[in-house]
Structure 1
Amino acid sequence: MSAPAQQHNPDALVEYGFRRVIITITAVMCALLEIVDTTIVNVALTDMRGSLGATLTDVAWVITAYAIANVIVIPMTSWLSQQFGRRNYFAASIIIFTVSSFLCGNASNIWELVAFRFIQGMGGGALLVTAQTIITESYPIAKRGMAQAIYGMGVIVGPTLGPPLGGYLVDNFSWPYIFYINIPLGIIATFLTITFVKSPKYGEKLKAKQVDWWGIVFLASFIGSLQFVLEHGQQDDWFNDGLIVLLSVVSVFGFVAFIWRELVYKHPIVNLGVLKDGNLKIGTIMCFILGFGLYGSTLVIPIYTQQILGWTATDAGMLLIPGSLVTAFLMPIVGNLIQKGVPQAYLVAAGFFVFFGFTLWMHNVMTPDTGVEHLFWPLILRGIGLSLLFVPITTMALSTLKGKNIGEGAAFTGMMRQLGGSFGIALITTFITRFSQSHRVDLVANLDITKPEVQNRVNQMQQGFMAKGFSFNEALGKAYQAMDFSVMKQATVMSYMDVFLYLGIMFLCCIPVILFVKRGKNKIDPAEAMH
């Protein structure tokens, strides 16, 4: 089919039957690979430190390098797939991801591993958005709600699968296997992509001198610096650190220069004009909020269960699985509701309200002694909320786009979801630290040593330590230390409670924004329903 024909016929890439099933499986597999690798390394960092002789700061770069590469490449994926052909670009990205996974597993020192993780992130970022575009264009417009539901299953379940899968592989094998597991799946996905995925043609390829090199430089400096600041800001004490200040300035200037360049250059690397679409504008904001809530809550719950409740990494990861399975189960149902004409805005509003209920419930059940039975149902509610949010938001954002604008829109939603997660993690870790200190000061102020109940508690602990063989003074010192630890633990729990309360308020405030959304084309045409 000629390029103009494909450009004017949005259904030229629609697939039916067996081919669509294979393409969908391939795209979801690739999205799942990319997202699982975002979180699977979290539980292996301690083993990496030991075997590679790295410090905690050094090993944190294993996560940071991957995240920076992800957010740099995501906005460029639509342009790159237009230049090289979608099938070629998607297959090349899978190969890059797979080969770099092998190299990560064979790294002999920490900086080799960081370098290969960056390359892996370049391939992985492309997988995420290109997979979404391939699925979206493989389904008729009326069935795109279901398409986003299928894609969303991988995106939502991925972050949850990472920690327990990583924990199992590290406990039973060794940390390189968290990378080796990608290799057979990558080979299968490459073969299926080359065999089944089509490459649309949208206009002529650019010559080297027409490529927006300055746009690429400004984008990389803006996004890369911002991601570094968000990842390392809290541990480096934010703007009291010279490097954080420098990169913040680079990010601001990179952002301004990038916007200017893309608006004036004839062949921009990122088409900002697609943001004139009202639904996409609101959809990108909602994707940012969704990333904030999804990745933020995925971060807080394992930290709380491990640091406060003393669970293992595997147990903490397993806790999230039932809620994720609920999300995966409900997503096709939500996609079906969209196909039947239920407005996306109503579903999103319901999702935000359900997520508010989840955060409020978590706020009320968190204590230093909370058990799995207290957390199970709030996390099931979280799963319901995510299913009501992801599919309608993504469908709504892309519902009024056509042709190559779908890929450009998907790049924006993917980038904003990732950045939302980065902002969420950065702000939440900062707030936990600051709130913990604030609550500790308040609790200590009320801990009057002259009160009989406080004296009795200290005496009991002192007697306990003396019974273990410590002297009178040593036992007293140990008792005060134990009291301080107990206060700090309670202060940290209170900071987690605050985080969930503020997250809930943020989601509640999003509901009025949904009223500005236009109805997308989401009702099934009887002729299309026959396929």
Structure 2
Amino acid sequence: MSDQDSLVEYGFRRVIITITAILCALLEIVDTTIVNVALNDMKGSLGATLTDVAWVITAYAIANVIIIPMTSWLSKQFGRKRYFATSIIIFTVASFLCGNADNIWELVAFRFIQGLGGGALLVTAQTIITESYPMAKRGMAQAIYGMGVIVGPTLGPPLGGYIVDNFSWPYIFYINIPIGIIAAFLTVMFVKSPKYGDKLKANQVDWIGILLLTVFIGSLQFVLEHGQQDDWFADSLITTLSVVSVFGFIFFIWRELTYEHPIVNLGVLKDSNLRIGTIMTFILGFGLYGSTFIIPIYTQSVLGFTATDAGLLLIPSSITTGLMMPIIGRAIQAGVPQKYMVTAGFAIFFVYSLWMYLVMTPDTGVEHFFWPLVARGIGLGLLFVPITTLSLSTLMGKDIGDGAAFTGMTRQLGGSFGIAIITTMIARFHQQHRVDLIPNLSAIDTQVQQRVHALQQMFISKGFAANEALDRAYQMLELSVGKQATVLSYMDIFIGLGVLFLLCIPFVLLIKKGAGNLKAASAAH
């Protein structure tokens, strides 16, 4: 019996291991988005500015993206069971410390530590689930894991909104503590660790690689998170960190290709399916996190939804994806080619984006969003499992963990790029549409005059003097132009996202024939 086979579990043990791994994946992913709706409350209670409080998200994301590519290596160094259990404990303790933080910088520091624990949970949970299932059932294993990964980002905002509205913001961290304790106990009791061979001695560890990875990813993540608010390259810090990131990346690649014991095994990228899968995973992250980010902002800023309502709007999409996962897992097991599923997923995501473009107005109702978001759920379901399965389908043995780390990292980076590009484009498009709309408001246009007069009369009826009522009428007109410009900029974003997904279809067709068949379903990583 190979070491790979000795990790396969059956019956009750497999159920428990699956639950443990999904709990951990959910903990990590929900925590990425749960704080979004609590930032205002944190700002108030910790006396921080919005820029300061944005670091609560940035610190977690930077730690996450630094640790994800190193998880495979760290598992081999410390033994997977020990590393996984330790990561859960770090995450849980850091959650407690986050809830007890007295000032914003304490909170940011504890969020960074929480991100170091959390980054490990995602990739390691995926590896553990995959190896607990026999080859023929790995598509289903991947589907079960996928339910957590896709539903997680959407659960964050409504759960966060509910906790903040009914309790107080520290409870969004305290909620992790009982789950973390249960997950750590189950890991120690049930999870097995594969035999990895000899550990490296301290002087063989790729410390320079670790440093270069931290510098490159940390700088890149900072630039992406803060570029828009600091006006990109007009800001000297953003420019400096962009240069540092580029050179950090070049030196990191050189170091990993030439060092005997690299921290990240770039050799796995020789596999053409993993290379194509990595590009598609990046775009999946872009679409998943980008649309999860954009819809709550649009509904709150333009339509006036509360934080909880904006979060709840995404739930039909998540439920649809959750229901799709087991169906897709069975389809993969039955031998349906993943190529066709991925192509259908990208096409449906294009339809969703086009649909959102068509229903967007300054007063779109909840009912207009329901079916487009269900389409989004179907598209994401068709993309997540088959892309991940295909990416890792031709990898064997320990390369699977390295491949899983790559897909995990590129999904996170895709999300960061997506959010950075979307926020920048919304600001740019808004300015452009505003400039284009203003000339239509000619003072000699009879429709404009009638509108101003009607607004002035409304304010006079509320007791304002004629000249004050006129000022207010012009302010109202100004606001409605701003709102129209905002809606047009969101429409541009959706049509852009749709085109991006449409352009992915040729990449899918480049995937080798026979890739992703069940013998290779190491995919599940």
The TM-score, its normalising length taken from structure 2, stands at: 0.97
Within the candidate set 12, 34, 42, 1:18 is matched to 12
**1:274 counterpart letter in structure 2:** V
Show CA shifts across 1:135-169 (max 9, x none): 11111222221111111100100010001101111
Instruction: Write the distance in 1 (CA, Å) between the matches of 2:45 and 2:363.
Output: 34
Within the candidate set 220, 230, 233, 1:226 is matched to 220
Partner of residue 421, structure 1: 415
Instruction: Write the distance in 2 (CA, Å) between the matches of 1:366 and 1:404.
Output: 48
**1:320 counterpart letter in structure 2:** L
Q: Determine whether 1:125 maps to 2:119.
A: yes
The 5 A counterparts of 1:55-134 are: 55-134=49-128
Within the candidate set 399, 406, 431, 2:400 is matched to 406
Partner of residue 380, structure 1: 374
Q: Determine whether 1:305 maps to 2:302.
A: no
SS at match of 1:11: helix
* Residues 142 and 522, structure 1, Cα contact 8 Å, conserved in 2: no
Within the candidate set 467, 470, 473, 1:479 is matched to 473
The 5 A counterparts of 1:199-214 are: 199-214=193-208
Q: Where has structure 1 moved over 6 Å in runs of 4 or more? A: none
SS at match of 2:464: coil
Within the candidate set 134, 143, 162, 2:137 is matched to 143
* Residues 49 and 55, structure 1, Cα contact 8 Å, conserved in 2: yes
The 5 A counterparts of 1:109-508 are: 109-508=103-502
* Residues 62 and 217, structure 2, Cα contact 8 Å, conserved in 1: yes
**2:447 counterpart letter in structure 1:** E
Instruction: Write the distance in 2 (CA, Å) between the matches of 1:194 and 1:424.
Output: 37
Show CA shifts across 1:305-353 (max 9, x none): 1000000010010010011001001111001101111111110000000
Deviation at 1:462, TM superposition (A): 1.3
Show CA shifts across 1:151-189 (max 9, x none): 110010001000110111111111000000000000000
**1:175 counterpart letter in structure 2:** W
Deviation at 1:401, TM superposition (A): 1.3
Show CA shifts across 1:211-252 (max 9, x none): 000000000000010001000000110000011001101100
Q: How many residues align?
A: 519
**1:86 counterpart letter in structure 2:** R
Instruction: Write the distance in 2 (CA, Å) between the matches of 1:266 and 1:411.
Output: 20
Instruction: Write the distance in 2 (CA, Å) between the matches of 1:163 and 1:521.
Output: 34
The 5 A counterparts of 1:31-50 are: 31-50=25-44
Show CA shifts across 1:365-414 (max 9, x none): 00001001100000000000000000000111111112111110000000
SS at match of 2:6: coil
* Residues 142 and 521, structure 1, Cα contact 8 Å, conserved in 2: no
**1:59 counterpart letter in structure 2:** V
Q: Tell me whether 10-19 or 189-198 shows the greater mean CA deviation.
A: 10-19
**Structure 1 unaligned spans of 5+:** 526-531
Q: Determine whether 1:514 maps to 2:508.
A: yes
SS at match of 2:169: coil
Instruction: Write the distance in 1 (CA, Å) between the matches of 2:137 and 2:519.
Output: 7
* Residues 284 and 413, structure 1, Cα contact 8 Å, conserved in 2: yes
Instruction: Write the distance in 2 (CA, Å) between the matches of 1:467 and 1:222.
Output: 61
**Structure 2 unaligned spans of 5+:** 521-525
Show CA shifts across 1:249-304 (max 9, x none): 11001000100000000000000001111111111111000000000111111011
Deviation at 1:521, TM superposition (A): 4.6
Instruction: Write the distance in 2 (CA, Å) between the matches of 1:523 and 1:209.
Output: 41
Instruction: Write the distance in 2 (CA, Å) between the matches of 1:343 and 1:309.
Output: 42
* Residues 100 and 117, structure 1, Cα contact 8 Å, conserved in 2: yes
SS at match of 1:501: helix
Cα 1:65–1:51 shift into 2, 3 Å: same
* Residues 144 and 522, structure 1, Cα contact 8 Å, conserved in 2: no
Instruction: Write the distance in 1 (CA, Å) between the matches of 2:27 and 2:84.
Output: 13
* Residues 69 and 119, structure 1, Cα contact 8 Å, conserved in 2: yes
* Residues 287 and 413, structure 1, Cα contact 8 Å, conserved in 2: yes
Deviation at 1:438, TM superposition (A): 0.5
* Residues 389 and 516, structure 2, Cα contact 8 Å, conserved in 1: no
Partner of residue 523, structure 2: none
Instruction: Write the distance in 2 (CA, Å) between the matches of 1:388 and 1:326.
Output: 11
Cα 1:311–1:513 shift into 2, 3 Å: same
* Residues 154 and 292, structure 2, Cα contact 8 Å, conserved in 1: yes
* Residues 145 and 522, structure 1, Cα contact 8 Å, conserved in 2: no
Q: Tell me whether 463-472 or 323-332 shows the greater mean CA deviation.
A: 463-472
Deviation at 1:468, TM superposition (A): 2.3
Deviation at 1:12, TM superposition (A): 2.6
Quick one: percent identity of the two aligned structures? Answer: 76
Instruction: Write the distance in 2 (CA, Å) between the matches of 1:134 and 1:318.
Output: 31
**2:494 counterpart letter in structure 1:** F
